[in-house]
Amino acid sequence: MTISKVEPAQPLTAGFVSNHTRMVTVVEYTSLRKCVKCHELKEASEFYPRPGGRYLTAECKECMKKRSRNRVPVDRKVSTVPSETDVIAELHKQGIPALPGKALGQQWADVIAYGAVLIEVKSAKRHYRGSYNFGFTPSQRAGKLRGDLVVLVCKHDDGNTFHVFYANNPVFYGDDGKLKTGIAWTPNAKHKGRFISLTDEMMYHAQDNWDLVEDHLTKICARLTMGYQLPIRLIAA
């Protein structure tokens, strides 16, 4: 659809003469569409339909093909998220093999250890009020955490600390059993506020508790020995 011209209409008269002139926009329908990339007018057939088929893409087919050809290949074995990279590096220090979840076909898993243990990573810097606030996404709150473990990364000025929990730990869930919007930890807090769900004792006990990775791997091996299958399908890296 394109706007061809704007022309004045005749004065409106309904028992009196109006001193105002109404502007009428004359609209003509056309099959031509401008690409936002090359800015050329092209036929609608030169654009891909969006999912659902009701609308067309903003870029034409030729521009999208050029962008695809010039795209730099992404190494799925390397995470682009700093907190995930930190967790993977720390796991390697502990002698635990780990890769980003996407390396094994699990887009929603941040890190996978031993090729089977799924790890959710949450990181936070210290708030000016002294707390570390960790939030969960709407898709996560719609159900439960699909990972096996949760690693909370506290970013300090002199480095990071890693706190390892089981994903089904009650601290992550409310009284109704649903995942909380977020959790917080205020070190050395004198009073427990309504948003303070992590205590010093919990965090100190969970710090560098990488033994949970080994423990869960043992559980997975036991299930496989009993004939159970993994709840996920992993793709070889």
Q: Provide the CATH number for the domain around residue 125.
A: 3.40.1350.10
17, 42, 69: which is the final residue of a domain? 69
Q: What is the CA radius of gyration of the chain?
A: 28
Q: What is the pTM of this model?
A: 0.65
How far is it, in rounded angstroms, from Cα 113 to Cα 232?
A: 14
Q: What percent of the chain has pLDDT over 70?
A: 78
pLDDT above 80 (res 15): no
The CATH number of the domain holding residue 50 is 3.30.60
Would the CA dihedral through 206, 208, 209, 212 be positive or negative?
A: positive
Asked, for residue 235, whether it belongs to a domain, the answer is: no
Model pLDDT for residues 172-188, shown as the tens digit of each residue:
988 888 889 899 999 98
Model pLDDT for residues 123-166, shown as the tens digit of each residue:
999 988 889 999 988 878 877 787 899 999 999 988 999 999 99
43, 69, 95: which is the final residue of a domain? 69
Domain that holds residue 38: 2-69
15, 47, 69: which is the final residue of a domain? 69
Is the domain of 120 the same as that of 209? Answer: yes
What pLDDT was estimated at residue 231?
Answer: 62
Is the domain of 33 the same as that of 108? Answer: no
How far is it, in rounded angstroms, from Cα 91 to Cα 97?
A: 7
How far is it, in rounded angstroms, from Cα 215 to Cα 87?
A: 18
Is the domain of 50 the same as that of 113? Answer: no
Q: How many domains does the chain have?
A: 2
